[in-house]
Amino acid sequence: MSTQTQVAVRPVAGQIAVAAITLGAVALALVALYAVFLDQGQLLSPVMGKLAATANYLHELAHDGRHLLGAPCH
């Protein structure tokens, strides 16, 4: 007959930090992908107003990259 003791496993502070950094990196990557592939002025509109849609700076910045990756933008 053997007795087993159960040990409660708690996440270490380092694991929590790694998880938080990973989550932040994934969120930043998703925003960057949205800006490159889908943005038509919506990301800058809170700052620039209607000028963001007409000037469309993010679209023009990522325009060549979209064509290089084969993503439609017209």
Higher-pLDDT residue of 71 and 12 is: 12
Q: Tell me: pLDDT of 63 over 70.
A: yes
DSSP string, 1-70: ------------HHHHHHHHHHHHHHHHHHHHHHHHHT-SSTTTHHHHTTHHHHH-HHHHHHHHHHHHHT
- pTM of the predicted model as reported, rounded to 2 decimal places: 0.54
Q: Tell me: pLDDT of 1 over 70.
A: no
What percentage of the chain has pLDDT greater than the value 70? 68
pLDDT in tens, 30-56: 988 777 677 666 677 777 777 766 776
**Domain segments of the chain as ranges:** 13-69
What is the model's pLDDT at position 24?
Answer: 97
